[in-house]
Copies of this chain bind each other. A is one copy, B any other.
Amino acid sequence: MIVVLAGGVGAAKFLEGLAAVMPPDEIAVICNTGDDAAFHGLHVSPDLDTVLYTLAGMVDRERGWGIAGDTFGCLESLAFLGKQTWFQLGDRDLATHLARTERLRQGATLSEVTEELRRALGVACRILPMSDGFARTRLRTTAGWLALQEYFVKLRQEPEVLEVDFTAAASCRPAPGVLAAIQEAAGVIVAPSNPILSIGPILAVTGMREALRATAAPVAAISPIVGGRALKGPADRILASLGLGSSAAAVAELYRDFLDVFVLDRSDVHLLDEIQEKGIRAVATETVMNSPEAKQQLARTVLQELAAKRASCSR
Contacts and interface: CB of A to CB of B under 8 A. Distances in A.
Interface of A: 40-42, 67, 70-71, 73-78, 80-83, 90-96, 98-99, 101-102, 105, 117, 120-121
Q: Which secondary structure dominates chain A's binding surface?
A: helix
14 contacts: A71-B71, A73-B91, A73-B92, A74-B98, A76-B95, A77-B92, A77-B93, A77-B95, A77-B96, A78-B99, A81-B117, A82-B120, A83-B95, A83-B99
Contact of A73 (B71, B80, B81, B99): B71
Nearest to A70: B73
B105 A90 contact: no
A94 B74 contact: yes
A77 B70 CA distance: 10
A81 B96 contact: yes
Nearest to A83: B99
A7 to B, nearest CB: 24
Contacts of A42: 98
Contact of A74 (B40, B74, B120): B74
Query: Nearest 9 A-B pairs (CB), nearest first?
Result: A77-B95, A73-B91, A41-B102, A91-B91, A77-B92, A78-B95, A40-B98, A74-B91, A81-B120
Given A91-B91, A92-B76, A94-B94, A99 B81 contact: yes
Q: Which of A71, A76, A91 has the most chain B CB within a 10 Å cutoff? A: A91
A184 to B, nearest CB: 30
Contacts of A102: 40-41
Q: Which of A81, A98, A120 has the most chain B CB within a 10 Å cutoff? A: A98
A75 B80 CA distance: 21
A159 to B, nearest CB: 27
